Structure 1
Amino acid sequence: MTGSLGFGGNVMGRNATNTLVFNDLAVRKVIKDSEGKPRREWRIEKVLSGKGDAERRTPMPGFILITQPTGGGTFYYFYRNALGVLKKARLGEYAEVGLDGAKRLWESKTTEVRGGADPVGDRHALRSAMTFKELAEAFLSKGNLAAQTKANYARHLNAHIYAVIGDKPAETVNDSDVLAICRKLEAKDNYALSNVVKSIIGGAYKYGRKQGLSSAAPCLGIGRRGQKVARDRNPTDKEISALWKAIDASEAKTTVAGEKMPKTAKLSQAMRLIIKIAIVTGQRRTEVAGVQRSELVGLEGKDPKWIIPGDMNKRGKIIEGRTKNGREQIVPLSSLAAALFKEALECCADGKHVFPADLDKVKLGKQPREPHIHGESVSRAMRRLREDAGVEDVSIHDMRRAISNWLKDQGVSREVRDLVLNHTDSSVTEAHYSQGARMLTQVKAALEAWAAHVNALVEGSEAGSNVVRLGARA
């Protein structure tokens, strides 16, 4: 027995006594007039010929518009499945699909039902059969996510989520399951990671609801897992000097106090250079760790630069760059930064990356997450380094704040400071971030002055004694 397309009260629903001609103006009018009025169902009919009293119409079986007191209108397809059970398939809101789009969907559903299919029942069956892992993988493969975000989400899913709910039917996952995952992380004081994990699960279900893959919302009502507090840590001159000296001590394989350094605390030459370059250039740890040979220009000349690529539109396809904000970053290199990069090219670089991943240290049978040293490896190295230096709670990112504050104290304008750090502010016009020749000259002077300041701190000379005042606007 195939699906029935019978037309009438049983198929239309209990209130589909109103008729509406298949005409966009007519549909828009009834939707507009529905505001403040009771919910109504409209049978849509197609005009064959004639006007007024001579107008002839034909039914469009099961094609219904339901208007709401809120002033909205949604198209549905009513039909009976092979067992004679009345079903209602949502085609979409008028604002989403329009009348012509709804008609195409109605025609498609009609063809499916005539062939014996049950669109609503099939969707419910798919929902019941789909596991959370399948839903999450659909989210990662088809959701609108940046490549790096997908990689991070996949890592957290594999590490913290799939073991608990991966094999559960997606429709059965509830808030208790989500809270169990979060609380396990919070027991180890990983509140930030708990928030990330909750957001990943919530994002997968939001995608699933939009695509009709799931109706569940297990994260609904679960608030932020711990309060995020903005960091304002500003490393002091003394701390910067101590960290730099600890890097040099690591190269000598001794602690700052001259004692033999534990094997686990030693930093590789690549890691030492990454941290130093991050300090003198002010760029992000991931940007330094992932630097490629092709990004370094004119290291042997008078005007060396590091050009970090931003996002590119190539024939309509977005090619993701390496900067956080998607904007190309030109970093005029100080003489110290250029020297550090030249050292890195001599000791560490492979064919493409200046700091390639250490394949000898990768666990047997596993590939590195990135072809270069990972940003998290830099963070771990920084934790070991600050312990040896006797410096508490300083991160690579805090060095960016130190540079910005020091340059501000030297009278450097906000415009130049933003260009140094590749900061953007939605309240500032695009022209503010133009890296013209004049601005690059000022950025180079700022970075050269900062490098001289760091060198003065390490050498023990009076900080800033060899630095001229740089600007006027703060």
Structure 2
Amino acid sequence: MEPTRLGERAIERMSYQGSNGTRDVRWDTEVRGFGVRIYPSGGKAYVLTYRNASNRKKLMTLGKVGELKLRAARDLARERLSDVRHGHDPLGDKQAMRREATFNELADQYLEYERVRGKRSLKDDRQRLRDHIRPVIGGRRLAEITHRDLLRMQTRIASATSNGTANRCTALARRMLNVAVEWGMLETSPAAKLKQLPESKPRDIFLSADELKAIVRSCDEDENLYAAALFKMAMLTGRRIGELKSLRWDQVDLDNGMLTIHETKVGEVQRVYLNEPAHKVLSSLPRVEGNPYVIVGRVPGQPLNAYRKCWDRIVKRAGLKPFPPHGLRHSFASQLVVGGTPLETVGELLGHKSPLTTRKYTHFRSQHLRQAANAFGELLEAETTLSDEPKAANADG
């Protein structure tokens, strides 16, 4: 077709007129080499054709129609043509970036991108990248990452933690690689066909006093001092494993019996008040020189990373059926609710931002309410004499 001055409405009316998948481009007369490509699927994209310094003809995509305004697409085309006149090859530079960029570089750009957008779960993303994803594929070039690499990463994370954690990391990696495609850093995402691992349905965890004591004894017998301290602190404070794992000594105030948690799920700084057993755990825990973290791992200067094997060992030694360490948090909340602690107070101790989140523990109140009802019945029996035989009715009324 002959070139014409492209307009927004004209582009909307365009439809694919090629044959057998041939390229269909409508060229613009205002900016030479600029046009709109229509795909057999009906999709449309702004494109630019040019010749590089070696006189090789190139066709690059500037952006999708609908995501990029026509005026902005023309301006971008002019910028790229200016680059060509100064000896650059825009498409070649993009392809070189694809070959050279590593996953760590993508991660840095992605975190900044989501920070500006105000993503609420950004702290979770940072933690998952730091503890699970970067150690496995961080140094790999994006163009070299394969589906098999991601499968190995998923399996490694699941073995060290749980299928749930592996699935959260998988979802994050998939999202990041999709963004890399949008940014032109990848042609296609190697995570496109990556499936989630099966997860067991969450169940209520209510550990009895004897079971809690068995876990404490098992922790005390374990060879991994810091992992054992992590689980005892989770049991005694009800805080999330991730929050405690990233805790630094400068966030611990033993004099006032308080922790300051910066990296919380709800994205706000929270205070944790230590009970006496929790205070003893932290007071007796050795500090490692050069490592700011309370729960240290094998890597110098870093917190504990893998803890699943240790947890499985502790639960087995305690003689309990397997359950995830997050169950310690559920048991903490359940015990408080059964003991009569108001749901609002329980929610504050757990760090819930919304009271609705704590309502899932409401069914544990039935035991507390039954105890209260029975207590009133016992009081009545103690204060009155109840005859087994009903008195005869007074005929006189």
CA contact (8 A) 2:38 2:45 kept: yes
Q: Which residues of structure 1 form unaligned runs of 5+?
A: 1-14, 21-26, 46-58, 251-260, 310-321, 434-463, 470-474
- State the partner residue of 1:75: 46
What is the distance in 2 between the residues matched to 1:355 and 1:78?
54
1:151 aligns with 2:130: yes
Q: Distance in 2 between matches of 1:223 and 1:211?
A: 24
> Kindly tell me: are residues 266 and 151 of structure 1, through their superposed partners in 2, closer, same or farther at Cα, counting changes over 3 Å?
closer
Work out whether residues 261 and 269 of structure 2, in 8 Å CA contact, stay in contact via their aligned partners in 1: yes
* Corresponding residue for residue 18 of structure 1: 4
Q: Is 1:283 aligned to residue 236 of structure 2?
A: no
Do 1:293 and 1:353's aligned partners in 2 also have CA atoms closer than 8 Å?
no
Provide the secondary structure at the position in 2 that maps to 1:217: coil
Q: Establish whether residue 141 from structure 1 lines up as the match of residue 141 from structure 2.
A: no
The equivalent residue for 1:244 is: 216
Equivalent residue runs for 1:158-307 within 5 Å: 166=140, 171=143, 175=147, 202-203=174-175, 205-224=177-196, 226-232=197-203, 234-237=205-208, 238-247=210-219, 250=220, 265-266=222-223, 268=225, 273-292=229-248, 295-296=251-252, 299=255, 305-307=258-260
Partner amino acid for 2:314? L
Conserved? CA contact 2:52–2:58, under 8 Å: yes
Alignment partner of 1:403 is 2:332:
yes
Q: CA shift at 1:203, angstroms?
A: 4.7
Check conservation: 1:77, 1:106, Cα contact below 8 A.
yes
Structure 1 vs Structure 2 CA RMSD: 4.6
Distance 1:241 1:201, change over 3 A: closer
Query: In structure 2, what is the Cα distance between the partners aligned to 1:212 and 1:102?
Result: 16
Shift of 1:28: 3.2
Partner SS state of residue 326, structure 1: coil
Contact kept in structure 2, 1:273 and 1:340, CA below 8 Å:
no
TM-score (structure 2 length as normaliser): 0.67
Equivalences, count: 345
Q: Which secondary structure state, in structure 1, belongs to the residue aligned with residue 266 of structure 2? A: coil
Measured at CA, do residues 61 and 17 of structure 1 come closer, stay the same or move farther in structure 2, by a change above 3 Å?
A: closer
Counterpart code for 1:306: L
Write the deviation string for residues 13-58 of structure 1: whole angstroms up to 9, x where unpaired: xx353323xxxxxx33334444x7868755445xxxxxxxxxxxxx
- Pick the aligned partner of 2:272 from 331, 343, 347: 331
16 and 147 in structure 1: CA distance in 2 versus 1, 3 angstrom threshold = farther
Deviations for 1:136-165, whole angstroms, at most 9, x for unmatched residues?
23222322264323312111327xxx7xxx
- Pairing 1:369–2:302 present: yes
For the pair 1:344 / 2:330, whether they are aligned, the reply is no
Task: Measure, in 1, the Cα distance between the counterparts of 2:223 and 2:159.
Answer: 30
**Equivalent runs, 1:305-316 vs 2, <5 Å:** 305-309=258-262
Q: Which residue number corresponds to residue 395 of structure 2?
A: none
Query: Is the contact between residue 246 and residue 295 of structure 2 (CA under 8 Å) also seen in structure 1?
Result: no
Distance in 2 of aligned mates of 1:79 and 1:393: 63
Percent identity between the aligned chains?
18
Matched to 1:391, the amino acid is L
Q: Following TM superposition, by how much is the alpha carbon of 1:283 offset from its aligned partner in structure 2, in angstroms?
A: 1.0
Paired with 2:59 and 2:17, the residues of 1 have a C-alpha distance of 20
The answer as to whether partners of 1:234 and 1:401 remain within 8 angstroms in 2 is yes
Contact 2:290 2:301 in 1 (8 A): no
AA in 1 matched with 2:78: E
Q: 1:350 to 1:266 in 2, by over 3 A?
A: closer
Partner amino acid, structure 2, of 1:143: Y
> Secondary structure in 2 aligned to 1:61?
coil
Alignment CA distance shift 1:367-1:306 (3 Å) = closer
Normalising by the residue count of structure 1, what TM-score does the alignment of the two structures yield? 0.57
The answer on whether the counterparts of 1:67 and 1:74 sit within 8 Å (CA) in structure 2 is yes
Name structure 2 gaps, 5 residues minimum.
Answer: 19-23, 112-121, 360-370, 377-397
CA distance in 1, matches of 2:163, 2:251: 37
Whether the 8 Å CA contact 1:348–1:354 is kept in 2: the answer is no
Matched, 1:96 2:67: yes
Q: 1:48-92, CA deviations, whole angstroms, 9 ceiling, x for partnerless residues?
A: xxxxxxxxxxx4211224467988753221223455554322222
User: Partners in 2 of 1:403 and 1:243 — Cα distance?
Assistant: 13
Helix, strand or coil: the match of 2:33? strand
CA distance in 2, matches of 1:407, 1:99: 61
2:227 and 2:266 mapped to 1: Cα distance? Answer: 25
With over 3 angstroms needed to count, the CA separation of the structure-2 counterparts of 1:175 and 1:267, relative to structure 1, is closer
**Counterpart AA for 2:322:** D
Distance (Å, rounded) in 2 between the aligned partners of 1:88 and 1:391: 64
